[in-house]
Amino acid sequence: MKIVLQFAIVAMSIIAIFTALLFSGQTDIFLKALHASALFGFLSIVVLALIWYERKLLARIQMRIGPMRVGPFGILQTIADAIKLVTKEDIIPSETDKILYWLAPIVVFLPSFVVWTVVPFTPSLVIQEMELSLLFILASSTLSIVGLVMAGWSSANKYSVLGALRATAQLISYEIPIIITALTIAMLANSLNIIEIVLSQSSQPYLLLQPMGLLLFFIAALAELGRTPFDIYHAESELAGGPFLEYSGTHWSIFYLAEYFNTFLFATLVSLLFLGGWLGPWLPGIIWLFAKIFIVISIIFWIRGTYPRLRIDQLMEVGWKGLVPLSFTNFVLTAVFIYYKWPLWILGFLGLMSILVIMFAFKQQKSSQPPSIMLIPSSEVRHV
Amino acid sequence: MSNESTKNIESVDIMVNMGPQHPSTHGVFRMVLWVDGERVVELEPHIGYLHRGSEKISEGEIYPQVVTLFDRLDYLSNLNNEMAFCLAVEKLMEIEVPKRADYVRMILCELNRISSHMLFYGTMGLDAGAMTPIMYGFRERERIQKFFQSVTGARMMHNYIQIGGLREEPPKSFQGQLKEMLPQLSKAIEECDQLLTLNEVFLLRSKDIGIINGSDALELGLTGPCLRASGIVEDIRFTEPYSLYNEIDFNLPVGVTGDTWDRYAIRIAEMRESIKIIEQALELLPDIGETKAPGVRLIPRPPKGESYARVENPRGDLGVYIVSDGKDKPYRVKIRAPSFANLQALRKMSVGSYVADVVMILGSLDIVLGEVDR
Amino acid sequence: MFSGLKGLIITLKTGLRKPVTVQYPKMHAPIQERFMGFPALTWDFEVSEPYCVGCMVCIRNCPTQCMTATMGDNPLYAEGKSPRRKIVESFEINLGRCILCNICVEVCNFDAIEMSYEHELSTFERNGRRVGLAALLEMGKKYQKESSWIPPIAKGKSASKATSDREQAI
């Protein structure tokens, strides 16, 4: 009964806001609000499909089939899970700071939805066209870290606080490679408007000019999202359960939703900034965009199924000792190339070479002392 | 914040309780850690949550019933446990097991070793954070368990190795099934190896973690792959050979540093060696032979005396000590469980390392709580 | 670097393989011929009575003491139709306690009890799987039909040879 009441209140307040907007004469704000709600609905359906796809893909990698019962091939499984989460009892520990506890999911969730208003799916399909859309996206997605700290602190649990601080450290340190690499792309395109960045890739996608940038952005995005191999802060088999330990039911599902919105956002950013967005022959642009997003997301899930996870100090090492210097070098190199107007394909070539050099350096270091064990034949053992 | 202001601040170590119900302690096992920041200062294991009184129960049961108890001790390597008990009783009664039964016993024990190590591989991956190795490991376990079902009748608690030999003749499809299964197992072991062993992230998680050197290991009573990881060449199949291991040639994997990675890699190598053992035993297997030594009753009555037998469990050195007073029930059965001794090294390995490493170290010791608590 | 990429290729290859899941309860993994399910009492079709005479050897040797039975005089013996002087009157097994160890089958002198292929045990009560004589005989008849059962001892052969004979028969 309580759930029906809550649902009714939410629905009626939304309708009230819309009618107020309609009758106040601000038709363009009303239209934008309508579009934003449609976007929210569309994104929710995309998230449902993503969760289903992740479970199926991971299952196939593990030689099993994923959900099959609820709906044909398990399509409705996510809806069943969502219903289960919403109808669960909201257990709130007694010593929590109530206001912070209730605000934390909202602070985590809102930035991850607000940035979607400036992401262009095609040059005409964007809710609010902004000149500084890239800057807006990167700046807003940093705001959800505050929500993480609020969540960890307000649960009266020392492990949540530890987990929240660890998560904050991880997320803040991996913002730097993301921002620097995005700035490199903005330098190459000479604008911060995503639409112009994509249009300037009509001759070649930035993948060819910045292979190193793509790798760095991708790995840093994995760490930002909290995906394996960087998912220590919400891993269950580790000690501290992370900042979301005390959340259950609807509260937790908002965090989960925010995580998947973010995954979709970063996959879209990779496709827009590096892979050429909606550009492509024959097919309409939006199909190209979704195909590219699909490939990037599949790679993200594929990596999740294969790699173990890093410890928190190793994670920080990889970030500060590996990604940050590399991203700065990439940035300076690109700046030099642009200033002296050297041909840019050399830049791409240099990027590829540096990736290969780093890989071979790893291999050299390993094969000089490869980890191995001795195999002693039985004749020798029996002798002794 | 200068050094002056932090000098008089008292700091307390946080006590973290990895309670009996935890996804990464393998079984009901409780660890209390005192943690200073991220480093472990002190570790206290609490066991006994799975104590079932096996030794006391076996004083009131006839010998075939005690075999079923031993099945359930280390529930991942049932046939090795049955083997230990039967060897002890056969030593006491001075029975010689017929050759065919002995070869079949050896083949089944080595298959059980592979299946136990596959589970170790899966849980090690899960502790490190990878979620696919466990599925691959259990896929291979399914293959082996299906084979066991066709030979012994049960997937896990077999009650097949009995005093004097086997319970019944292996089926006609025994050799055919094995010849079909062994190449599949080899291929799967290679796949599992390539997925995890040299993975960079896994190496970061397991190299130089939980190091214990040879003399410390010997003092603490470690046996099995954990001891061999520290460089000591010691395997009961070589030092006190039982069954027909003297006629088989296989390599012994021995580690170099004594860290978690060595303990893991030795078990993967042992799986390959087990396949070699099974192939050689299949060739030497006589076509006809008896299943039980002649003259052994269903409910034997060993003469008065005592005996001790050791086998190489997948976890180490399993020892069974039997005192008999001539009746059909043993007077005392004492079990020396390898996981119980291995667990004592946990504290030495973990103090000073990170909290996330304790999970990996515990996983690499490969304890089974059924054995620790009996 | 490269070993990690090798791992990715392995997961890609397994991703393209056929999955190994058996969708229970729609499908069932095949049960092997020697599978030891729950014990069941066998029925002598020639004389139309159970093989079991109620001698209690299996009950005495059960590790978990999950069986009870009573023995009674056989009315068919008095009529001269059956060689058994005594016959089982009631037999109860608490299937929740049985550990499927096969000891009762080994010690039985009359081929009366066999491990059937039943293994699906779910009830809503704690001691809900206590089966009586009628249910056990039903299970036994089903098992005898499924496995073309030849009573080992009654035909004068030893138990292990009977198993290999059973395989040859199938």
CB pair distance less than 8 Å for A376 and B252: yes
Q: By C-alpha distance, which of A224, A133, A141, A228 is closest to A185?
A: A133
**Chain B / chain C CB contacts < 8 angstroms:** 84
Asked if the model's pLDDT at residue A341 lies above 50, the reply is yes
pLDDT band per the 50, 70, 90 thresholds, residue A324: very high
Distance of CA A41 to the CA centre of its chain: 19
For the ranges A211-220, A322-331, A366-375, B59-68, the lowest mean pLDDT is seen at A366-375
pLDDT band per the 50, 70, 90 thresholds, residue C167: very low
β B14-18/B30-36 pair status: antiparallel
- Tokens, residue B99: 């050759």
CB pair distance less than 8 Å for B64 and C35: no
Q: Which residue has the higher pLDDT, C77 or B330?
A: B330
How is chain B split into domains, by residue range? 3-373
C-alpha A173/C-alpha A323 separation (Å) is 10
Q: Name B30's bridge partners.
A: B46
Angle, alpha carbons B178-B180-B183 (nearest 5°): 100
Q: Which contiguous run of DSSP H or E holds residue A376?
A: strand A374-376
Q: By C-alpha distance, which of A40, A20, A22 is closest to A30?
A: A22
Interface of A with C in 50-69 (CB under 8 A): 57, 59-65, 68
pLDDT at B104: 92
A57, A306, A362 ranked by CB distance to C8: nearest: A306
Secondary structure (H, E, C), chain B? CCHHHHHCCCCCCEEEEECCCCCCCCCCCEEEEEEECCEEEEEEEECCCCCCCHHHHHHHCCHHHHHHHHHCCCCCCHHHHHHHHHHHHHHHHCCCCCHHHHHHHHHHHHHHHHHHHHHHHHHHHHHHCCCCHHHHHHHHHHHHHHHHHHHHCCCCCCCCEECCEECCCCCCCHHHHHHHHHHHHHHHHHHHHHHHCCCHHHHHHHCCCCCCCHHHHHHHCCCCHHHHHCCCCCCHHHHCCCCCHHHCCCCEEECCCCCHHHHHHHHHHHHHHHHHHHHHHHHHCCCCCCCECCCCCCCCCCCCEEEEEEEEECCEEEEEEEEECCCCCCCEEEEECHHHHHHCCHHHHHCCCEHHHHHHHHHHHCCCHHHHHC
pLDDT at A366: 59
pLDDT band per the 50, 70, 90 thresholds, residue A364: low
C-alpha A232/C-alpha B204 separation (Å) is 14
Task: Provide the residue-wise pLDDT of chain B in tens; the chain has 374 residues.
Answer: 445 555 566 777 788 888 787 766 678 888 888 888 778 888 899 998 889 998 999 898 888 899 998 988 889 999 999 999 999 999 988 888 898 999 999 999 999 999 999 999 999 988 888 888 999 999 999 999 999 999 988 888 888 988 888 888 888 888 899 999 999 999 999 999 888 888 888 888 888 888 888 888 899 989 989 999 888 888 888 888 888 888 888 888 888 888 899 899 999 999 999 999 999 999 988 888 888 888 888 888 889 999 999 999 999 999 999 999 888 889 999 999 999 999 888 888 888 888 888 888 988 988 888 888 88
pLDDT at B256: 86
A63, A302, A305 ranked by CB distance to C19: nearest: A63
pLDDT at C112: 86
CA distances from A263 to A5, A81, A330, B27, B67 (A): 32, 19, 25, 35, 55
Interface of A to B at Cβ within 8 Å reads 58, 61-64, 158-159, 228-229, 231-232, 235-239, 304-314, 362, 366, 371-379, 381-382, 384
CA distance C122 to chain A (A): 21
pLDDT band per the 50, 70, 90 thresholds, residue C136: confident
pLDDT at B25: 64
pLDDT at A384: 55
CB pair distance less than 8 Å for C15 and A60: yes
B127, B196, B238 ranked by CB distance to A382: nearest: B238
For B193, the closest chain C residue by CA position comes to: C7
CB pair distance less than 8 Å for B154 and C36: yes
Angle of helix A345-368 relative to helix A211-225, nearest 10 degrees, comes to: 60
C-alpha C6/C-alpha C4 separation (Å) is 5
Chain B residues closer than 8 Å to A63 by CB: 135-136, 139
SS3 of residue C72 by DSSP: strand
Q: CB distance from A302 to chain C under 8 Å?
A: yes
Question: Which residues contact residue A278 at a Cβ distance below 8 angstroms, ignoring those fewer than 6 apart?
Answer: A121, A122, A123, A198, A285, A286, A288, A289
- Specify whether the CB–CB gap between C68 and C130 falls below 8 A: no
C-alpha B129/C-alpha A305 separation (Å) is 10
Asked if the model's pLDDT at residue A55 lies above 50, the reply is yes
Distance of CA B74 to the CA centre of its chain: 7
CB count in 10 Å sphere of residue B83: 26
Q: CB distance from C27 to chain A under 8 Å?
A: no
Which tens digits make up the pLDDT trace of A192-207? 888 888 888 888 888 8
**Chain A / chain B CB contacts < 8 angstroms:** 121
Chain C residues closer than 8 Å to A305 by CB: 11
Mean pLDDT, chain A, whole residue set: 83
Percent of chain C with pLDDT over 70: 89
pLDDT band per the 50, 70, 90 thresholds, residue A367: low
pLDDT at B296: 84
Whether the full predicted model's pTM is greater than 0.80, yes or no, is yes
Domain B3-373: CATH architecture, name and number where available: Orthogonal Bundle (1.10)
CA distance C4 to chain A (A): 8
Asked if the model's pLDDT at residue C161 lies above 50, the reply is no
pLDDT at B6: 54
Arithmetic mean of pLDDT, A40-60: 90
For the ranges A230-234, B220-224, B271-275, C67-71, the lowest mean pLDDT is seen at A230-234
pLDDT at B264: 92
Interface of B with C in 74-133 (CB under 8 A): 132
